[in-house]
Amino acid sequence: MRLWFSLLFLITVMGCTNTNQVQRIVDNNSIIKYREKEKNRFSNLYPVKKLKDRVYPYTCEQDCYPESEKLQCELKEENCQFVGQQKSSTTNTGFDVHWLGHASFHVKTEDGTSLLFDPISQQFDWPVGFALWAFGGKYRNEPESWLSDTELNDVDAIMYSHTHYDHFNKSDIDNMSRHIQYIVPLGFAEHFENDGYKINEMAWFSSTTLSDTTINFVPGNHFSDRILVPYIYEDRNTSLWGGWVIENKDKKLFFAGDTGYSDHFKDIQKRYGDMDVCLMPIASYHHPENGMWYRYVHLTPEDALAAADELNCKVMIPWGYGKYSWQMGDRSSYGPLLRLLHMHKKLDSKVHLYILNEGEKSRF
């Protein structure tokens, strides 16, 4: 009996031992902001007490989704392909950009550093994904092709923008090599299984290096949570959220993560200078009953154009829409792209748009 209890104790202790390597990066340039009355919960840099107080540069009021000859669709605003002529780019950044669908990107620098942003190849993690499918919730078409085993083995680092299920999927990293570095917001590491992961948690405006590449974590205007049982386990805003500025050979790529419009874009440009390539979300802003809240934490297509202009993006690549998205808060899968094309023309925007179809890649 004594031997049995000893073995049980040993197994319990071994099960509780944390084999993950977690490093917290908070440097002299970092900013951490907490909610006024909840010091264990993070806050946006530019919060508003009333949603109507947020001022937006542009707003499409009517006829926002006209058909476009640049988009061929099997159904109205569904199952579409961009067929318009792309403007030639003169940026010559050396970044290879592969849009895998929704918010997932594979980016390679000129010197071969391989980076993954918010990789999601399947549905939401079990059991949330199954529950949504079973009860008529959000369920997407899964990407028809993903990265090959060779490409996955060559990945040097994975960056996650926040903990929401459509941006962080544990099943996608279960079988990946443990040599990969995971670079994540503060408070994020607790969501990893205890299995030898190398994790760098970062504050806003903190930096780390990977070979000759500098990785900077920057603010977004959003929130985080990964609620299992609402009102029983409430983890909202106990981890940070944001985007990434990747610097390689004086060239900069910006991945926004989920975000609404605020002055944080001007802050990012002031700190890091003009952006060469900007990966910008343009979806999840439309909701018939709660549209003001959705827009507060997500960019409309015209908000994305304004933000890209403030960042002085040489090229803007939109994401968040399409057949591999979950159509969360949107009127249709390709409505956001139609609205972007419409507002780009209406505003006579000087932002250089480059539209990737899901699964496509290009060098910039």
Instruction: Please report how many Cα atoms fall inside a 13 Å half-sphere around the Cα of residue 260, on the Cβ side.
Output: 22
Which residue, 104, 85, 103, 105, is CA-closest to 95? Answer: 105
Q: Is 112 left (phi over 0), alpha (psi -120 to 50) or beta?
A: left
Q: What is the structure's pLDDT at 14?
A: 41
Rounded Cα gap, residues 364 and 359, in angstroms: 16
Q: What is the structure's pLDDT at 90?
A: 65
Q: What is the structure's pLDDT at 230?
A: 52
- At 59, list the tokens: 């707003």
Contact present, 201 and 187 (Cβ < 8 Å): yes
Contact present, 116 and 108 (Cβ < 8 Å): no
Q: Is 273 left (phi over 0), alpha (psi -120 to 50) or beta?
A: left
Residues 35-89 have pLDDT tens digits of 988 888 999 999 999 999 999 999 999 999 999 999 999 999 999 999 999 876 6
Rounded Cα gap, residues 157 and 178, in angstroms: 10
- At 137, list the tokens: 């919730």
Contact present, 161 and 255 (Cβ < 8 Å): yes
Tell me the three state secondary structure of residue 252.
Answer: strand
Rounded Cα gap, residues 186 and 191, in angstroms: 11
Q: What is the structure's pLDDT at 229?
A: 53
CATH of domain 21-363: 3.60.15.10
Q: How many CB atoms lie within 10 A of CB 250?
A: 8
Residues 159-193 have pLDDT tens digits of 999 999 899 998 888 878 889 999 999 999 999 99
Q: Write the single-letter amino acid at 310.
A: E
DSSP 265: H
Q: Write the single-letter amino acid at 261.
A: Y
Rounded Cα gap, residues 273 and 287, in angstroms: 34
Residue ranges of domains in the chain: 21-363
Contact present, 255 and 99 (Cβ < 8 Å): no
Contact present, 144 and 98 (Cβ < 8 Å): no
Q: What is the structure's pLDDT at 290?
A: 83
Contacts made by residues 140-143, CB under 8 angstroms, sequence distance 24+? 140/102, 140/323, 140/324, 140/325, 140/326, 140/327, 141/323, 141/324, 142/324, 143/100, 143/101, 143/324, 143/358, 143/359
Walking along the chain (364 residues) 10 residues at a time, the average pLDDT comes out as 38 58 94 89 96 96 95 95 84 92 96 96 77 71 87 96 93 87 96 93 97 97 80 78 97 98 98 98 89 95 98 97 87 96 97 96 94
Contact present, 363 and 96 (Cβ < 8 Å): yes
Which residue, 272, 273, 336, 271, is CA-closest to 305? Answer: 336
Reported pTM: 0.92
